Amino acid sequence: MGKKEDNACHRHLFPTAMSGDLSGFDVSGRAYRRCMSALEDDQPRFRTCIVDDSWSGAEKKELVWAYEAGMSISLLASYLGYSAREVVQELSRQIFQIATPTEDRKAPRYGEKWAAHEIQVLIRAFQSGRTPGVTAKELGRDELGVCWQIIQTCRPALGQG
């Protein structure tokens, strides 16, 4: 019926049309609560509507064990067979209770190397309890990048999520 496609953010089952005829498949935004359609998946609208629930309970336990053992994000990704982005997203769910951190490629400092003063601001913001979204706006970054940097720099404890 469907073929599993991996993109950097989500794992979904999308039907793959053999002849280009999509009749019989609902690939409209209607199937995805009017947020995005299967045909628009390569051009996300940066609106959270599909939650990646591909992590099994056993994988989550293994992630917790490996993270608490001190593995880096890249090592966690390699060890668990997920992308680094998927690891950060799952850790963000457990640490910050953020279903899917927003990735905004239009943020002024998106993808740029973190400066020492930005990391100091990030650490102070994290220690004072500021949310990654607020810190992202302050630094001109996206929420996913801030979550990633907090996890990498501060190694926060995992919540009960």
At residue 56, the pLDDT reads 93
Q: What is the mean pLDDT of the chain?
A: 78
Query: Could you tell me the CA-to-CA distances from 12 to 5, 8, 35, 117, 139 in Å, in that order?
Result: 6, 11, 15, 39, 32
Residue 30 predicted with pLDDT over 80: no
Q: Are 72 and 33 members of one domain? A: no
The predicted structure's pLDDT at residue 6: 44
Q: Which structure tokens are listed for 61?
A: 């336990």
pLDDT grade, residue 2 (50/70/90)? very low
| CA–CA dist 142, 160 (Å, integer) | 25
Residues 68 and 21 in one domain: no
Is 161 part of any domain?
no
Fill in the DSSP letter of residue 32. G
Please state, in angstroms and rounded to a whole number, the distance separating the CA atoms of residues 46 and 65: 31
pLDDT at 60: 94
Which pLDDT tens digit goes with each residue over 44-87?
A: 444 444 455 589 999 999 999 999 999 999 999 999 999 999 99
**What was the pLDDT predicted at 149?**
97
Q: Are residues 143 and 109 in the same domain?
A: yes
Cβ-Cβ contacts under 8 Å for 70 (sequence gap 6 or more): 155
- Both 34 and 67 in one domain: the answer is no
Report if residue 119 sits inside a domain. Answer: yes
The number of distinct structural domains making up the chain is: 2
Q: Helix %, strand %, coil % for the chain, to 5?
A: 45, 5, 50
Owning domain of residue 108: 57-154
Residue 121, token pair as written in the block? 């601001």
**pLDDT band, very low/low/confident/very high, at 138 (cuts 50, 70, 90):** very high
Indicate whether 28 belongs to any domain. yes
In this structure, the answer to whether residues 119 and 145 fall within a common structural domain is: yes
Q: Which amino acid is at 13?
A: L
Q: Would you call 135 exposed, middle or buried from its count of C-beta atoms within 10 A (0-12, 13-18, 19+)?
A: buried
Tell me, yes or no, whether 36 and 62 share the same domain: no
Same domain, 70 and 135: yes
> Which of 3-12, 22-31, 121-130: highest mean pLDDT?
121-130
Question: Do 82 and 121 lie in a common domain?
Answer: yes
Question: pLDDT tens digits for 120-136?
Answer: 999 999 999 999 999 99
In a domain, 126, yes or no: yes
Is there a domain that residue 145 lies in? yes
Q: How many CA atoms lie within 13 A of 111 on its CB side?
A: 4
User: 17 with 70, same domain?
Assistant: no
